[in-house]
């Protein structure tokens, strides 16, 4: 008997497709009967959306600014919104809340002012050296003068803290130009977030937006810069951590399924050695005052414009604090180049024993390292929309996380600074992960992501048990809902 060459070809081909699906992230996850049914629903929705023929490319291949309203009508997006998403492990507090909320709420409060220095504008509530009296006006007064076009005025205000509304979005901005706009958003909002009543309202909203998006635990990067209140009283970093702690506890009281927040103290990479020393000492005192709440340390900012991790290595290896180095959660490899010392930040992050890598976009260019990352189970905090808005990749189907998923390198999906690009929560990022980064994956991939987000968090054993109980219940509800839809469709 002769076996046809075509048959052999087809059998081997099918075996390869199967092996690839099994090898990638989530490929070996056990699925129960309900999950298998939910998997069929999700795959059918996915196929339908990836193949819809009335556009020349699927929404998943479009830039978020153009895709957002289309994503919102997607069945997959609405399913992912319902899905309990476990923990968010990479989020900067001052860019986490939707810009729309900031405009509609904070700028309508009577203390809200706008300061104009040369051609830059800053939100504030008080006049300062850099915002003198004659250049600072109550926003209420400005709005009154624009009574006829308040909508346009508010949109202009929003453009100060929203990348979508910046001129740089119009065309061919370079990464440096995008970062200049991005940093200008942080500069613009800073004055609001230094004022205690605004800071508190903002962080309550932060928890609300993520809780509404079915997120149960947040690890928040924050500088814990000092605050002041209406009487001019100042609050230092330890007091600010206490204020945050109280807000979180109040929120948990009111929303018992929400598990909580941990803080990663983050300083900008433009600091001096002396300032880093101070920051590490501050970390030590915070982690002593708030064990289990302030859990790690990071350095942030555009990598190729600022100091490299290597330049800080001596201090980071042997910090001047008795308890030894903090737990590090370094940003590294959020970069497209291959030329500067900063391109090697991923090497330094691993050598400095980072627990996770913020982004790790450039890890794909370090073949020795990604083996080490997988072996040491250092998770990559992947922020798809952030990488797109900040110019690393235009079409997220080309995001290197596709490679990490195929190689079973652990990743977690997270949203970085959603408030500054017209997003909220993390579901939009999950949409791109599911549709653009892992187009062949089903519910096994999602299940792996969700449970890995807990696994790679800084939760203690007791906290893990607690959140696992909550998550198992919510996951089962989600799966049942998806399985029911499957019956409805058949």
What residues line the site for ligand NOS (CB under 6 A)? 92, 94, 183, 186, 223, 266, 268, 300-301, 331, 334, 386, 416-417
Alpha-carbon distance of 142 to 153, in angstroms, equals 9
In the bound complex, what is the minimum distance in angstroms from residue 266's beta carbon to ligand NOS?
6
Q: Hey, is 112 helix, strand or coil?
A: coil
How far, in Å, CA of 192 to CA of 185, rounded? 12
**What gap in Å lies between CA 308 and CA 411, rounded to an integer?**
23
Nearer residue to ligand NOS within complex by CB, 39 or 417: 417
Residue nearest to ligand NOS (CB): 300
Report CA 364 to chain centroid distance, whole Å. 20
Structure tokens at 410: 């652990």
- Measured from the CB atom, the residue of 79 and 350 that comes closer to ligand NOS is 350
Q: Could you give the angle at the alpha carbon of 388 between the alpha carbons of 299 and 327, nearest 5°?
A: 25
Q: What's the rounded Cα separation, in Å, for the pair 248 and 245?
A: 5
Q: Annotated catalytic residue: which of 211, 217, 359, 399? A: 359
Cβ 280 to ligand NOS shortest distance, Å: 17
- Closest approach, Cβ 301 to ligand NOS, in A, equals 4
Whose Cβ is closer to ligand NOS: residue 98's or residue 474's?
A: 98
Least distance in angstroms from the C-beta of 89 to ligand NOS: 13
Give the residue with the Cβ less far from ligand NOS, 179 or 445. Answer: 179
Alpha carbon dihedral 197, 262, 355, 382, in 10-degree steps, equals -70
Structure tokens belonging to residue 450: 């969700």
At 426 the three-state DSSP class reads: coil
Is 200 designated active site?
Answer: no
Strand partners, 331: 358
What's the token pair of residue 321? Answer: 């604090």
CB of 482 to ligand NOS, least distance (A): 32
Nearer CB in complex with ligand NOS: 121/179: 179
Q: How many helices (H) and strands (E) does the chain have?
A: 19, 13
- Least distance in angstroms from the C-beta of 263 to ligand NOS: 12
Q: Which is nearer to ligand NOS, 428 or 478 (CB)?
A: 428
Structure tokens at 114: 């706008």
Q: Which of 35, 209, 334, 344 is catalytic?
A: 334
Least separation in angstroms between residue 368's CB and ligand NOS is 24
Structure token digits, residue 461: 């054993």
Is 334 noted as a catalytic residue in this protein? yes
Q: Which residues pair with 34 in a beta bridge?
A: none
Q: Which is nearer to ligand NOS, 126 or 268 (CB)?
A: 268
CA angle 436, 439, 443 (to 5 degrees): 115
- Identify which of residues 216 and 420 has a Cβ nearer to ligand NOS in the complex: 420
The closest alpha carbon to 332, from 282, 277, 369, 289, belongs to 369
What CA–CA distances, in Å, run from 181 to 161, 172, 177, 389, 390?
A: 9, 14, 6, 11, 10
Strands 136-138 and 113-117: antiparallel
Minimum CB separation of residue 298 from ligand NOS in Å reads: 9
User: What's the token pair of residue 221?
Assistant: 């990067």
Q: Token pair 């810009």 is at which residue?
A: 99
- Catalytic residues, by residue number, are 334, 359
């Amino acid at each position: 008997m002769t076996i046809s060459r075509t048959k052999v070809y087809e059998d081997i081909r099918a075996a390869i497709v199967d092996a690839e699906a099994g090898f990638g992230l989530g490929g070996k996850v056990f699925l129960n009967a309900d999950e298998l049914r939910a998997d069929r629903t999700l795959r059918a929705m996915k196929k339908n959306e990836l193949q819809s023929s009335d556009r020349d490319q699927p929404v998943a291949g479009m830039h978020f600014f153009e895709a957002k309203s289309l994503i919102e009508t997607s069945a997959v997006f609405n399913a992912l919104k319902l899905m309990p998403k476990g923990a968010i492990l990479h989020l900067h507090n001052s860019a986490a809340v939707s810009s729309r909320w900031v405009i509609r709420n904070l700028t309508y409060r009577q203390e809200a002012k706008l300061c104009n220095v040369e051609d830059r504008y800053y939100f504030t509530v008080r006049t300062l050296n850099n915002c003198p009296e004659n250049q600072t006006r109550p926003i209420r007064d400005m709005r009154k003068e624009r009574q006829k076009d308040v909508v346009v005025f508010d949109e202009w205000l929003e453009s100060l803290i929203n990348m979508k509304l910046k001129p740089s979005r119009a065309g061919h901005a370079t990464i440096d130009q995008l970062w200049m706009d991005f940093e200008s958003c942080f500069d613009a909002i800073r004055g609001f977030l230094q004022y205690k009543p605004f800071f508190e309202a903002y962080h309550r909203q932060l928890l609300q937006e993520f809780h509404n998006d079915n997120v149960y635990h947040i690890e928040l990067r924050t500088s814990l810069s000092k605050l002041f209140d209406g009487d001019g009283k100042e609050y230092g970093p330890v007091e600010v951590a206490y204020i945050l702690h109280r807000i979180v506890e109040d929120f948990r009281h009111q929303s018992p399924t929400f598990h909580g927040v941990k803080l990663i103290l983050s300083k900008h990479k433009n600091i001096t050695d002396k300032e880093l020393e101070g920051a590490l000492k501050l970390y030590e005192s915070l982690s002593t005052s708030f064990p289990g709440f302030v859990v790690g340390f990071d350095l942030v900012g555009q990598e190729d414009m600022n100091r490299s991790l290597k330049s800080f290595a001596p201090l980071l290896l042997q910090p001047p604090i008795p308890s030894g180095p903090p737990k590090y959660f370094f940003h590294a490899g959020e970069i497209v180049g291959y030329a500067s010392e900063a391109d090697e930040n991923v090497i330094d992050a691993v050598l400095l024993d980072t627990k996770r890598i913020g982004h790790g976009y450039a890890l794909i260019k370090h073949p020795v390292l990604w083996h080490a990352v997988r072996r040491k189970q250092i998770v990559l905090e992947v922020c798809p929309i952030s990488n797109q808005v900040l110019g690393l990749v235009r079409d997220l189907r080309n995001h290197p996380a596709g490679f990490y998923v195929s190689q079973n390198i652990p990743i977690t999906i997270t949203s970085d600074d959603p408030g500054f690009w017209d997003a909220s929560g993390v579901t939009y990022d999950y949409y791109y992960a599911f549709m653009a980064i892992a187009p062949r994956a089903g519910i096994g991939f999602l299940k792996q992501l969700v449970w890995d987000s807990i696994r790679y968090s800084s939760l203690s054993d007791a906290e893990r048990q607690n959140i696992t109980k909550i998550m198992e219940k919510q996951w089962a509800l989600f799966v049942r809902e998806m399985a029911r839809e499957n019956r409805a469709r058949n």
